[in-house]
Amino acid sequence: MTALKPVPTDDLTGQMRALGQAARAAAHALAHTDSETKTRALTSAAEAVRVERDAILAANAEDMTAAADKNLTAAMLDRLKLDEARVAAIAKGLEDVAALPDPVGKVTEEWERPNGLRISRVRVPLGVIGIIYESRPNVTADAGGLCLKAGNAAVLRGGSESFHSSRAIAACLHEGLRAAGLPDTAVQLVPTTDRAAVGLMLTMPEFIDVIVPRGGKSLIERVQRESRIPVFAHLEGLCHVYVDGAADAKMAREVVLNAKMRRTGICGAAETLLIDRAVAESQLPGIVADLVEAGCALRGDEAAQAIDSRIAPAAPADWDTEYLDAVLAIRVVDGLDEAIDHVNRHGSHHTDSIVTADGSVAERFLSKVDSGIVLWNASTQFADGGEFGMGAEIGISTGKLHARGPVGAEQLTSYKYVVRGAGQTRP
């Protein structure tokens, strides 16, 4: 294990700048590191995680002990807790990232000009990625690994609750980097739990190119408000399922139940059901029955309540609420256009789905709903880089610039134009 020295708070700015400078230098080295070396670093880090399992668990036990005094919720404690299976999953995650194709150097377009100039667009790393996260210690490995894969240096700022766990995992990443002959400044953990470090990260555009916040809404809001650096994030996943008049009733039940209840705490979970008035009477009771049986509370507009008495009244705020819980808002709409309008007005441009057997209705929804991910006849819970076949993801973006939807290794790259000539000059 690398011993990380505590930082005197009075010199936090200097320390953070030094860390940023080291990250920038590491990024220059990583940009020209070949795929094999990066793969070796990742697989060696995975091995180190397995070898150091007991040390990681001991560090996690320290965090859990400290957390016991802090009045954390059960969900937060569960996110913080590591066990043998979770440590094994961290190692496996690093190997999965190692096995992904290297996006760097890939020629995405190539053409020749009439004057003989050959132009290609080639993927290059972005530079330095700053990741700010809360209690999950595994983000240290997931995010650090994904940044490394795409040739970027990572500056990781984990939550104070998971400080010891993250430090133990970061030490394994450093072992992997050293085994591959790479500087361990390629992945740096901010060595302090001082909250001021976050503010400093957000205002170092000369050292950090992109910020990725991972955590609750208050963290994301703070980052989006304070950052002088572009942010890849989603503030909310206020996802909708629209059951159209031409929906297959059985499919609608299955998709709605899964979209809401498979896991209620993830960003791709549905929060609002919109149902076409044409089928509300016939299909809503079946959908409601499944949801109630699964333990979901329902809040609907008057039309929905009139159809099924198990639906409580919705307040106006319900259409704008990401419950992240076993609660669903239900609204009866007058067909496709009202549904699209509701989604674009109340949604968070994250992930929205339509259930319908009518292809032209579906295409209109897919085209007009302004969200990073739009689905037809599938659950919103597929909103995940892994489910997309992109491998690991560092998060999901609802921004429209650079990265939208799942942010994987490819989205952590930029590009350059390479032009090969034979002495051409411009007339």
Q: Which is nearer to a second copy, 175 or 209 (CB)?
A: 209
| Nearest distance in Å: CB 308, a second copy | 22
Q: Which is nearer to a second copy, 125 or 215 (CB)?
A: 125
| Nearest distance in Å: CB 16, a second copy | 22
Other Cβ atoms within 10 Å of 12 Cβ, number: 17
| Nearest distance in Å: CB 221, a second copy | 14
Reduce the DSSP state of residue 301 to 3 states and report it.
Answer: coil
| Nearest distance in Å: CB 119, a second copy | 6
Alpha-carbon distance 64 to 62, whole Å? 5
Distance between alpha carbon 230 and the CA centroid of its chain, in Å?
15
Q: Which is nearer to a second copy, 307 or 409 (CB)?
A: 409
Q: Which is nearer to a second copy, 239 or 307 (CB)?
A: 239
| Nearest distance in Å: CB 1, a second copy | 34
Q: Which is nearer to a second copy, 6 or 111 (CB)?
A: 111
Q: Which is nearer to a second copy, 71 or 425 (CB)?
A: 425
Report the interface residues with a second copy, using CB under 8 A: 28, 31-32, 111, 113, 117, 119, 124, 126-127, 209-210, 230, 248, 251, 254-255, 257-259, 262, 344, 355, 362, 366-368, 370-379, 381-382, 387-389, 400-402, 404-406, 414-426
| Nearest distance in Å: CB 82, a second copy | 25
Distance between alpha carbon 163 and the CA centroid of its chain, in Å?
21
157 half-sphere exposure, CB direction, 13 A CA radius = 26
Residues contacting residue 124 through CB under 8 Å, at least 6 positions apart: 31, 104, 105, 151, 413, 414, 415, 416
Alpha-carbon distance 383 to 374, whole Å? 9
| Nearest distance in Å: CB 123, a second copy | 11
Q: Which is nearer to a second copy, 91 or 403 (CB)?
A: 403
Q: How does strand 128-133 pair with strand 327-333?
A: unpaired
Nearest C-alpha neighbor of 413 from the set 156, 188, 160, 148: 148
Nearest C-alpha neighbor of 337 from the set 247, 245, 263, 221: 245
Alpha-carbon distance 229 to 207, whole Å? 10
